[in-house]
Chains A and B, each alone.
Chain A
Amino acid sequence: MTRRTIVALALVAALGPLLFAGPAGAQWPGVTPTEIKIGNTNPYSGPASAYGTIGKALTAYFKKVNDEGGINGRKINFVTLDDGYSPPKTVEMVRRLVEQDQVAFVFQTLGTPTNSAIHKYLNEQKVPHLFVATGATKWGDPRNFPWTMGWQPTYQTEGHIYAQYVLKNVPNPKIGILYQNDDYGKDYVKGLKDGLGEAGRKLIVLEQSYEVTDPTIDSQIVNLKNSGANVFYNVTIPKFAVQAIKKSHDIGWKPLHLLNNVSASVDVVLKPAGLEASRDLITALYLKDPTDPQWKNDQGMKDWLAFMQKYYPEGNTKDAFNVYAYTVAQGLVHVLKQCGNDLSRENVMRQAANIKNLSLPLLLPGIKVNTGPTDFYPIEQEQLARFDGERWALFGEVHDAGKK
């Protein structure tokens, strides 16, 4: 390298912050008359890279939006970076998005530990942290974190729904719980316990946990069976859900089996575990399952398939994460349209907190998105479904945890 290039590089380094600050006099960070820049992190590598497809599907959806003319004449520039599901990496990437790339806001960053690591930072910087991809309860706390908003029904909401179902429908329930020993698992357990109430709590006969690093959960299943439980509250990620379903079937334990929504995919979990072993599982749903034949002629599902074929052909059309991404991207587009020509960070947040009865094509019939200045939980409705050996058969009414 010659001395001259070094000097030139040094100059660029010194001027960098200025050069990247965007056009002088821009009204709002990340927004020009022709573009909105949105930041995101996703695990494209590492142990959680199964989720990476969400980032890819979001990118594909915004391409579709841009091809159709963008939003109010502005194209979406979606900058998505790989954080490998590692919180320190997420911090690094999000700081880069905010300080260097100057994004308008951060959207759909994925994971509970990763989002926890940037929660405070984004709120201090007053950068909208919208529709995070995790079901932890803490994302809906407008009083302390007015710049952060969740998206999907929280794990606690779901636990609540199961509790009501058990209390209403199971005579003499004895509940055994298997949960992942982290925030996600504990949120689900708390939701169930809250739903059971003070008196109902003694219905829990055994709680067993596992670590993500555990090779098997056989020992826990054996203990649960021996506890005499007749209700099995299964709070596991797909890897362990498959094992739990198969193992309890193998050892002839037939409780009422409540499987958390996290692992409700027919293709990813129930098929590997065995359709017969999965019969009569109960879960709570809010999205249409792309592998469920009952949606074969559904217009929303047809549009989604056409989108997948055109914009994300390498994506898996059986993977529910792609349905998830499509739906949340539609939610964001709704918010941006509602913003009109005021794309200030304050207004983005204001409009996100002002969604009224929004129906999206791949939400289950009857489920609507609703937010308000004190309600930062966009989706709070779910419906129970029972697996009939082939598909999830919805039953009962749509439960609404927002109406408490």
Chain B
Amino acid sequence: MVRTAGEIRFDAQQIAGRPTEDIVRLGIAHVPEGRGTFTQLTVEENLRLGAYARRDTGALARDFARIYDYFPVLGERRRQIAGSLSGGEQQMLAVARALMLRPRLLLLDEPSLGLAPLVVREIFRIVRAINREERVSVLLVEQNVATALDLADHAYLLETGRVVVSGPSAELRRDDAIRRSYLGY
């Protein structure tokens, strides 16, 4: 057992130890590592599930349009079984599903894992757009440090579970030690 201490607060509420479903209802959307696709459901059904915890179901149609705008490929395949999508498409679906919640905070767990660089770039472009245009806070965990620092406003560097450095991304990027160890230039 890992010893744990401290607390997790969101919007001044203590959320550690609360059931996942309740945390989701506070407006926190989580895109898990491995994407968590409902492989036997269609793309559209996956997206509908993303919006499950929302109360304002009236605005759903508009949100579908918005999502298909961000991810045209999902629009094309919306009647397809999600399990038949490619890895990159499933990652997009995972992000899209999280967005359907209209979250206040989006948690992304290693979205680049196992994807081709071109796909990774595309996904990060969209995440940035969401962050800027939709005013959604994003908490990103990522090993690809260069891309992550490009995207983030504020960064924390963890080594074996401890924060070793933290600060605005621009500052971290200028830090010589970090540049040498993680960015490789």
Question: Within the complex, are A and B direct neighbours (CB within 8 Å)?
Answer: no
Q: Which residues of B contact A (CB under 8 A)?
A: none
Q: Which residues of A contact B (CB under 8 A)?
A: none
